[in-house]
């Protein structure tokens, strides 16, 4: 079964309102239904649930009104899209991950009401990006990302190949350019070790050749998508953060070749979720097409 709905989490904060607006625009682009969820734990006495899983009326109404307000704003922002809003009892991160199992995309903000002001990425966003079954978009950075390319980080890993597939699909849907970025390391020198020969021009050519090989099958499949490839030396996170300053969406795999074995979210992905200047999509190699 092909999943089409977009699920977005909200907690009523200004950040989450911007996230809902982004998700609503994406729903219109895809002609997809939008499902807005607000989730909250209940730590009150068991008898308050009256044995049927319902909260006392004032508490339930508060969260139902929050979900309804978010749905109304989404409809006003993107008239004609199918929107539902629901308030669900439970841990927000777990509720969203579960809802994402039957969604085409799961959308969250980088921080909500629960985030300390010193934190750049909230715990809910971190958990969802790490554990969701499908693509996750963390909405962050610039307020206006309507223009610019779809940028994709490429490193030859399986999840990066999946990121390229989704990147071309998103670029075709938006009618914009795809920017494929591959970063390669500079040599490290130790004072007491004779450095190995290093030819920067050859290193750049090799990286460009690898990047072209990764992109070529997708160029053939999406012939109308304009493509730009960039092979740059240095830190992948730093280079991709720079690219995010003019991208409409940045897509990366959850783990690349540089990730530690057993890590669910690689260091590059984590740094982008903390510091990118545009929404970031995290994809997993095993996610279905």
Residues 65 and 124 in one domain: yes
Q: What's the CATH number where 180 sits?
A: 3.40.50.12370
Of 93, 120, 139, the one marking the end of a domain is: 139
pLDDT tier for residue 57 given thresholds of 50, 70 and 90: low
- Which has the higher per-residue pLDDT, 184 or 68? 68
Residue 136: name the closest of 284, 285, 289 by CA.
Answer: 284
* Cα–Cα distances in angstroms (integers) from residue 16 to residues 75, 254, 258, 268, 281, in the given order: 16, 23, 32, 24, 16
Of the listed ranges 20-29, 186-195, 197-206, the one predicted with least confidence: 186-195
203-214 pLDDT per residue, tens: 889 999 999 999
Q: Does one domain contain both 64 and 176?
A: no
Dig out the tokens for 58 from the structure: 């004032």
The last residue of a domain, from among 107, 139, 171: 139
CA 146 → CA 75, 140, 229, distances in Å?
19, 13, 21
Please, what is the average pLDDT of the chain?
A: 83
Do 122 and 191 have their domain in common? no
Residue 111 has pLDDT above 90, yes or no: no
Residue 171 pLDDT class (50, 70, 90 cuts):
very high
Check: pTM over 0.95? Answer yes or no: no
pLDDT at res. 131: 87
Q: Name residues whose C-beta falls within 8 Å of residue 160's C-beta, 6 or more positions apart in sequence.
A: 152, 153, 154, 214, 252, 253, 256
77 with 98, same domain?
A: yes
What's the total number of domains in the chain?
A: 2
Q: Is residue 289 part of a domain?
A: no
Question: Do 36 and 116 share a domain, yes or no?
Answer: yes
Tell me the chain's radius of gyration from C-alpha atoms: 21
Do 19 and 54 belong together in one domain?
Answer: yes
Tokens of 141: 């950075």
Q: Are residues 193 and 130 in the same domain?
A: no
Residue 119 has pLDDT above 90, yes or no: no
144 domain-assigned:
no
173/256 same-domain check: yes
Of 108, 139, 170, which residue is a domain's last?
139
Same domain, 202 and 107: no
Give yes or no: residues 266 and 155 share one domain: yes
- Both 110 and 169 in a single domain? no
Residue 181 lies in a domain: yes
In a domain, 211, yes or no: yes
pLDDT band at 115 (very low <50, low <70, confident <90, very high): very low
Residues 20, 132 share a domain: yes
HSE value, Cβ hemisphere, 13 Å, CA-based, for 71:
19
Residue range(s) defining the domain that contains residue 212:
150-283
Compute the CA torsion angle 39, 41, 44, 48 (nearest 10 deg): 40
């Amino acid at each position: 079964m092909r999943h089409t709905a977009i699920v977005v989490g909200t907690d009523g904060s200004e950040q989450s309102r911007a996230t809902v607006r982004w998700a609503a625009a994406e729903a219109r682009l895809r002609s997809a239904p939008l499902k807005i969820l607000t989730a909250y734990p209940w730590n009150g006495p068991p008898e308050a649930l009256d044995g049927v899983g319902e909260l006392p009326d004032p508490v339930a109404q508060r969260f139902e009104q929050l979900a309804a307000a978010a749905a109304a704003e989404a409809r006003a922002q993107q008239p004609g899209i199918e929107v539902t809003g629901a308030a669900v009892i439970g841990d927000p991160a777990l509720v969203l991950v579960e809802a994402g199992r039957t969604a085409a995309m799961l959308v969250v903000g980088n921080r909500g009401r629960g985030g300390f002001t010193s934190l750049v990425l909230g715990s809910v966003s971190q958990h969802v990006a790490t554990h969701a079954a499908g693509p996750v978009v963390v909405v962050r950075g610039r307020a206006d990302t309507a223009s610019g390319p779809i940028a994709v980080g490429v490193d030859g890993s399986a999840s990066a190949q999946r990121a390229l597939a989704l990147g071309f699909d998103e670029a075709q849907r938006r009618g914009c350019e795809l920017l494929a970025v591959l970063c390669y390391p500079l040599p490290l020198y130790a004072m007491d070790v004779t450095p190995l020969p290093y030819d920067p021009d050859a290193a750049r050519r090799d990286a460009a050749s690898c990047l072209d090989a990764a992109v070529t099958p997708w160029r053939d499949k999406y012939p109308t998508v304009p493509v730009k490839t960039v092979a740059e030396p240095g830190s992948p996170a730093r280079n991709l953060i720079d690219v995010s300053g003019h991208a409409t969406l940045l897509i990366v795999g959850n783990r690349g070749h540089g990730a530690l074995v057993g890590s669910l979210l690689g260091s590059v992905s984590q740094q982008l979720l903390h510091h990118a200047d545009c929404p970031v999509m995290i994809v997993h190699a095993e996610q279905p097409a």
